[in-house]
Amino acid sequence: MAAESGANSLQVEYWNDVAGPKWVALDGLINDQIEGLGRTAIERAAPRPGEAVLDVGCGCGHSSVELAGHVGETGRVLGVDVSEPMLVQARSLARAAANLDFQVADAQTHGFEAAAFDLAFSRFGVMFFDDPQAAFANILRALRPGGRLVFVCWQEIAKNPWMAIPGAAAMQHLDPPAPPDPSAPGPFAFADRERVAGLLEAAGFSKVHHEALEARVTVGRGLGRAEILEFLVQMGPAGAAMREAVPEVQERIRASVAEAVTPWLTDEGMVAEALCWVVRAECPGN
Ligand SMILES: C[S@@+](CC[C@H](N)C(=O)[O-])C[C@H]1O[C@@H](n2cnc3c(N)ncnc32)[C@H](O)[C@@H]1O
């Protein structure tokens, strides 16, 4: 898709041309890794039969399918995402479920029907807006008074060794990047709970609540060691380092990542701690 009104153009390009095709190719593995975290967030959102749910940044649609199961035939789920390849995957996963639709849309700028949803949900899909306050204000307009927003997002990368360890091992082979802006759009942009609470309140939400969610994630479940390593160097900061590196440096990155993650390799895959927030907020005016 082309970015609507120029918003989020870098992320739109990234999720269509770089990350989207990768997520589709690795869909089963990635979903396996984050499914439990998403399920806990869905439990907190408590979708009920008959409710209308907006799944923001739904990607390949796993959470949308699960939400559709909760709201049943009398409810409906709309999954929106900027990534066309991921939505193709989502549609094939959903197999034309009557209560589930997908739409290519930028959640920050799309003109959703006003007050049409009981719940706006997201599994790791809201940390990529270039103007998060505007995006949450837009999502709020789509909620009915008393409607709720629930999403799961990562805490800081240092508290997520499943990604920090391969990332640090890879980055040592590149020139040190300028210190990143921790709030720039990206997977860890919502680590700071005060900032996120402020953004949500400024957007008009009330009753903002953060719950820390700690879990062990299994990366590359069921794969052999070599395949796990190949998976690891495609994702997150390690993947970004690989994209920048010439082939000779890529080999060094592979070797360093292999050494760094060895203590976390088990027969199941790479098993490491992950730390998230489950964030809840309410549309005022019930
Ligand atoms: C980390 S992935 C998560 C995908 C999916 N929710 C899951 O858990 O598998 C982030 C998703 O947010 C989507 N996204 C990023 N910016 C967006 C925006 N402005 N509007 C809608 N979706 C967006 C991406 O295309 C991607 O599918």
Q: Which amino acid would we find at residue 11? A: Q
Beta bridge partners of 273: 216
* φ, ψ dihedrals at 45, nearest 5°: -75, -25
The tally of CA atoms less than 13 A away on the side-chain side of residue 139 is 39
34 lines ligand 1 (CB under 6 A): yes
Say if residues 28 and 92 touch (Cβ distance below 8 Å).
no
Say if residues 279 and 151 touch (Cβ distance below 8 Å).
yes
Residue whose CA is closest, atom 5 of ligand 1? 59
Residue whose CA is closest, atom 23 of ligand 1? 57
Say if residues 203 and 140 touch (Cβ distance below 8 Å).
yes
Backbone Cα Rg of the chain: 19
- Written as six digits, the tokens of 60 are 């390949």
Query: Per-residue confidence of the chain (286 residues) as pLDDT tens digits?
Result: 655 567 899 999 999 999 999 999 999 999 999 999 999 999 999 999 999 999 999 999 999 999 999 999 999 999 999 999 999 999 999 987 899 999 999 999 999 999 999 999 999 999 999 999 999 999 999 999 999 999 999 999 999 999 999 988 998 898 777 777 889 999 999 999 999 999 999 999 999 999 999 999 999 998 888 999 988 888 888 888 898 899 999 999 999 999 999 999 998 899 999 999 999 999 998 6
> Cα–Cα distance between 186 and 214 in angstroms, integer?
20
* φ, ψ dihedrals at 70, nearest 5°: -75, -40
59 lines ligand 1 (CB under 6 A): yes
> What distance in angstroms lies between residue 128's CA and the mean position of ligand 1's atoms?
7
The CATH number of whichever domain residue 196 belongs to comes to: 3.40.50.150
With 0.75 as the threshold, say if the pTM is over it.
Answer: yes
Q: What is the DSSP letter of 284?
A: S
Beta bridge partners of 146: none
User: Hey, CA dihedral for 239, 240, 244, 248, is it positive or negative?
Assistant: negative
Identify the CA nearest to 62 among candidates 94, 88, 84.
94
- Written as six digits, the tokens of 218 are 């299994």
DSSP secondary structure of 52-88: EEEEET-TTSHHHHHHHHHH-TTSEEEEEES-HHHHH
- Written as six digits, the tokens of 274 are 């992950």
| Helix/strand/coil for 279 | strand
pLDDT value at position 5?
64
Identify the CA nearest to 11 among candidates 196, 190, 185.
185
For the chain, how many structural domains are there in total?
1
> Cα–Cα distance between 274 and 215 in angstroms, integer?
5
- Pocket residue to mutate for ligand 1, from 23, 33, 77, 81, most atoms within 8 A of Cβ: 81
| Domain carrying residue 79 | 4-282
| Helix/strand/coil for 170 | helix
